[in-house]
Amino acid sequence: MDSTITIPLSASEAQIEAEARARQKSYWLRVYFWRSAILVALLGSWELAARQGWIDPFHYSMPSAIWARLIEWTTEGTSEGPLWYHLWVTMEESILGFLTGSVIGVIAGIALGRNQMASDVFALYIKLINSIPRVVLAPIFTVILGLGLASKVALSFIMVFFVVFSNAFQGVREADKAMIANARILGASNWQLTRFVIIPSAMSWIFASLHVSFGFAIIGAIVGEFVGARYGIGLLISVAKGSFDSAGMFAAILIVMAVALLAEYLMTYVEGRFASWKPQTSADAA
Amino acid sequence: MTSSSPAIELRGVTRRFLSPDGKSLTALRDFTMTVERGEFVAVVGPTGCGKSTTLNLVTGLFKPSGGEVRVMGQPVSGIDRRIGFAFQTDALFPWRNVLDNVVAGPLFRGRPRKEAYAEAEAWLARVGLKGFEKLHPHQLSGGMRKRVALAQTFINKPEILLMDEPFSALDVQTRAKMHEELLDLWGTNRASVVFVTHDLEEAIALADKVYVLTKGPATVKSVYKIDLPRPRKVADIRYDKDFIAISRRIWEDLKSEVQGAQAKAA
């Protein structure tokens, strides 16, 4: 098939734009085709391998069994009660951890970024705490804060805080020196300088960290639930593991994936609204 | 007493920097310069000799290591509200639109919003950017961004205007146009100006007085009075025979410093 498109030299702007749109559309159709083809091939070979007995479905489960478990959970509920309630508990923990972690992370990052002395004093402690693998804090939080909401939120918080904090700090440090001098000479007070120059210029750094940190918040909540909980997706995985229900484990993973993806899209949307001032690259027209 | 004092005085100023490894570097030594009220002074010198340092001493962003800096007869303490600064690099706020950039100064200084915005629109019209209010800096050409920067500076009605190679990144035609606009704005506001540049022709075309600096650590090598009549037509003045004569004389002076600086850099 010949894919070159010849446009006569006399082509009008409208024609050129229509051609570009058509090319764009066919490109994305191909991208979507390959994306779905890969998914179908993967799931298909998994299902086939399990049904033919090449892999043991007891350990590896198979797509149809996972799907059946998801349907069962959504319509009849899990052995531990309704699925929606577990999902809600995990979400509540993640969202609380995410919000508190990112807000306090941003504030601490900007405050230390603006104050050389304070940042030098606290740098040591931040490094010390940051060097602890977060997951090992889960049992401690469970002991101190109990089996309920608080221990999971604390773990979520600590996962989110350091990522957001270090990005906000770096963003403040990278703020353009000429721009700061300009604002100062134009008459900005310290607070005005922070609000009008420092925070907006740190924003792209902060958003970069918010993208990954909702995922971290979910990890914190689920690991917390593994260690000890009465509700939550982490508990479902833990129960499924205890009863050798591999379809149940995969089903729980799928639910977490869906939630994390949704959060990621939401974040991209919000960031797009905030960053409307940024230059957009124009595409090559011909 | 202060009403008759010069706008800017630097007396025997020395400025040292500490490099990151703790070494002391001297940028200016025994530097003396006077700018009278309403006078347009240009400072030329080899690249990297410390020209910009003189401006930052006047703003109060840097403090002198020795000597004295006075603005309107008073020693400099902190950032003076009467000062406006034009930067070499783009110092506009990229996340604010053109109008919000121009209005920044009056808002920072506590003017009522409505008044400040009305004034900002008037200034944008003056620099020929009516209708571009809602665009962001990245959507403008280099010349237009400079005009926004000038409006942003002039809206504060500075009595002292410090300019750090403001037009060096522009193409030749745009630069000539900006020279005209600057002289036009200056003609109505009559600020005292210090204009730092490495372009000798630009310095002579704009200024009343040209300071030639030595290679770093910089000090004043010589001062020239430029007696070309005003108002000047910057685009044509460079072909004027008085201009050429002055230009040749100052270049003789500057040449040895530039060559010395290049030898050092190589």
Query: Taking a C-beta distance cutoff of 8 angstroms, is the pair A83, A77 a contact?
Result: yes
Query: Taking a C-beta distance cutoff of 8 angstroms, is the pair A241, A249 a contact?
Result: yes
A200 to B152: CB separation less than 8 angstroms, yes or no: no
Query: How high is the mean pLDDT of chain A?
Result: 89
Pairing of strands B66-71, B8-18: antiparallel
Residue A275 scores a pLDDT above 80: no
**Chain B residues closer than 8 Å to A177 by CB:** none
* A187 Cα to chain B: minimum distance (Å): 5
Residue B47: name the closest of B222, B168, B142, B209 by CA: B168
Q: What is the 3-state secondary structure (H, E, C) of A14-67?
A: HHHHHHHHHHHHHHHHHHHHHHHHHHHHHHHHHHHHHHCCCCCHHHHCCHHHHH
> ω before A8 within 30° of 0 (cis)?
no
Residue A156 dihedral angles phi and psi, to the nearest 5°? -60, -45
pLDDT at residue number B238: 85
Dihedral over alpha carbons B49, B54, B57, B62 (to 10 degrees): -20
pLDDT > 70: what percent of chain A? 93
Provide the sign of the torsion angle of the four alpha carbons B66, B71, B74, B76, taken in this order: negative
The answer to whether residue B109 neighbours chain A at the CB level (below 8 Å) is: yes
pLDDT at residue number A285: 45
How distant is the alpha carbon of residue A85 from its chain centre?
22
The answer to whether residue A269 neighbours chain B at the CB level (below 8 Å) is: no
pLDDT at residue number B265: 63
Residue A228 dihedral angles phi and psi, to the nearest 5°? 175, 115
- For the segment A262-266, the average pLDDT, to the nearest whole number, is 89
A183 to B156: CB separation less than 8 angstroms, yes or no: no
Contacting residues for B208 by C-beta, under 8 A, at least 6 apart: B39, B40, B41, B225, B226
- For the segment B126-141, the average pLDDT, to the nearest whole number, is 90
pLDDT at residue number B188: 85
**Chain A residues closer than 8 Å to B89 by CB:** 178
Residue B199: name the closest of B51, B55, B89 by CA: B51
pLDDT band of residue B1 (cuts 50, 70, 90) is very low
pLDDT, tens only, B59-114: 988 889 999 999 998 998 888 889 999 998 878 999 999 999 999 999 999 999 99
Amino acid occupying residue B138: H
Rounded to whole angstroms, how far apart are CA atoms A130 and A122? Answer: 12
pLDDT at residue number A282: 53
Rounded to whole angstroms, how far apart are CA atoms B221 and A205? Answer: 47
The answer to whether residue B76 neighbours chain A at the CB level (below 8 Å) is: no
Rounded to whole angstroms, how far apart are CA atoms B94 and A204? Answer: 12
pLDDT band of residue B258 (cuts 50, 70, 90) is confident
A184 to B61: CB separation less than 8 angstroms, yes or no: yes
* A192 Cα to chain B: minimum distance (Å): 7
- The two structure tokens encoding residue A80: 């531990």
A178 to B97: CB separation less than 8 angstroms, yes or no: no
- For the segment B185-202, the average pLDDT, to the nearest whole number, is 90
The answer to whether residue B83 neighbours chain A at the CB level (below 8 Å) is: yes
Best residue in A185, A203, A207, A274 to probe B by mutation, most B CBs within 10 Å?
A: A185
pLDDT band of residue A22 (cuts 50, 70, 90) is very high
- The two structure tokens encoding residue A22: 């058509």
All domains of chain B, ordered by start, with CATH?
Answer: 2-82+158-265 (3.40.50.300)
Amino acid occupying residue A36: S
Query: Taking a C-beta distance cutoff of 8 angstroms, is the pair A264, A217 a contact?
Result: no
A187 to B108: CB separation less than 8 angstroms, yes or no: yes
pTM reported for the whole predicted model: 0.80
The answer to whether residue B45 neighbours chain A at the CB level (below 8 Å) is: no
Residue B234 scores a pLDDT above 60: yes
- The two structure tokens encoding residue B162: 């410090």
Rounded to whole angstroms, how far apart are CA atoms A181 and B170? Answer: 22
Greatest Cα pair distance in chain B? 56
- The two structure tokens encoding residue A30: 């191909």
Amino acid occupying residue A181: A
Residue that has been written with the tokens 């940024």 in this structure: A278
pLDDT greater at residue A70 or residue B261: A70
- For the segment B12-31, the average pLDDT, to the nearest whole number, is 87
Strand order in the sheet with B74-75: B24-35, B8-18, B66-71, B74-75
- For the segment A250-264, the average pLDDT, to the nearest whole number, is 91
pLDDT greater at residue B127 or residue A34: A34
Pairing of strands B40-44, B209-213: parallel
- For the segment A147-152, the average pLDDT, to the nearest whole number, is 92
Query: Taking a C-beta distance cutoff of 8 angstroms, is the pair B167, B202 a contact?
Result: yes
**Chain A residues closer than 8 Å to B100 by CB:** none
Rounded to whole angstroms, how far apart are CA atoms A107 and A113? Answer: 10
